[in-house]
Amino acid sequence: MTNSIFDPSARYALGMEVGFEHRPPTPEDRVDVGMVDLCDGDRWIELGESRAWGWQAGLMLRWLPRSDSEIVWNDRVDGRFVTHSLNVGTGQRRTLGHPVFTLSRDGVSALAIDFLRLEDMRPGYGYMGIQDPWRDVLAPRETGNHAVDLSTGAGELIVSLAEAAAIPYPRGDISAAKHLFNVLIFNPSGSHFLFLHRWRFGGGGFHTRMLTARADGSGLTVADHSGFTSHLTWRDDRQILAWSRRPSHGDANYPFPNAEDGSCGPDQIVGKERMPLNGHCTYLFDNSWVLNDTYPQGDERLHDLYLYHVPSDRRVDLGRFHAPPACTDTLRCDLHPRSSPDGSEIVIDSTHGGHGRQMYLFKLGEIVAA
Give the C-alpha separation, 57 to 126, whole Å: 8
- Point out which residues pair with 94 in neighbouring strands: 85
Count of other CB atoms within 10 angstroms of residue 76: 21
pLDDT of residue 262: 57
pLDDT of residue 1: 45
CB-based contacts of 135-139 (< 8 A; 24+ apart in sequence): 138/165, 138/175, 138/176, 138/177, 138/178, 138/179, 139/164, 139/165, 139/166, 139/175, 139/178, 139/179
pLDDT of residue 41: 96
357, amino acid identity: R
pLDDT of residue 346: 96
pLDDT of residue 261: 65
Q: Which of 46, 42, 113 is nearest to 74 (CA)?
A: 113
pTM of the model: 0.94
pLDDT of residue 265: 54
Q: Is 65 exposed, middle or buried (0-12, 13-18, 19+ CB in 10 A)?
A: buried
Q: Which of 142, 62, 52 is nearest to 104 (CA)?
A: 62
Residues of the chain with pLDDT under 70: 1-2, 259-266, 370
Sheet holding 178-186, edge to edge: 178-186, 192-200, 206-214, 221-227
- Dump pLDDT digits (tens) for 2-32: 579 999 999 999 999 999 999 999 999 999 9
Q: Which of 8, 21, 75 is nearest to 358 (CA)?
A: 21
